[in-house]
Amino acid sequence: MRTEFRFPYRPKPSDRGKPGKHTLYPLVPIQLYTSGSRCTSFEALLDSGADNVLIPKGSAELINLQMGKKIGMESASETTECYEASVGLIIGQVTGDRFDLGRVDARVPMSDTGKVPPLLGRHPFFQHFEITFQQYEPRPSYTIRLKDPTLKRF
């Protein structure tokens, strides 16, 4: 059974297929779900500096995510207000191997100043997978290795 998956860093959507040098990002294929909703596929940014899963307000609206208690969240430079939430998280593409992490704790910032996609922080992703970043030319990539054999796979 395959336990290691390598993904290339990807440019932002408008740069794809265009010649030239572009900024590349470690984007992870995920699906998010809530109770009573279908899975919605996103590209999340793998962010080893973030503690948790962060769902931007727009993504939360897209999947009709119920927000919980309002709390403060420390970022590198400031404290921002966000909501606690619980969201179903699947790692992988619809057409490939997928791993269901079940419902995970997430944060939904009240403002959208960063204009980021969903962020995949360390908890709980790094507890189930070993992650290696290979950010060197010519093909920057990251590798995830399954460390939790009990994780639901399909």
CB of 53 to other proteins, least distance (A): 11
Count of residues binding other proteins (CB under 8 A)?
38
Between CA 74 and CA 140 the distance in angstroms is 30
Nearest to 121 by CA among 58, 65, 49: 49
Taking CB under 8 A as the rule, does residue 119 contact other proteins?
A: yes
CB of 109 to other proteins, least distance (A): 7
* Closer residue to other proteins (CB): 67 or 116: 116
Site for other proteins in 23-42 (CB under 8 A): 23, 25, 27, 29, 40-42
Site for other proteins in 44-83 (CB under 8 A): 45, 47, 49-50, 54, 56, 58-59, 61-62, 73, 75-77, 80
Question: Residues in the site for other proteins, rule: CB under 8 A?
Answer: 12-14, 16-17, 23, 25, 27, 29, 40-43, 45, 47, 49-50, 54, 56, 58-59, 61-62, 73, 75-77, 80, 94-95, 109, 112-117, 119
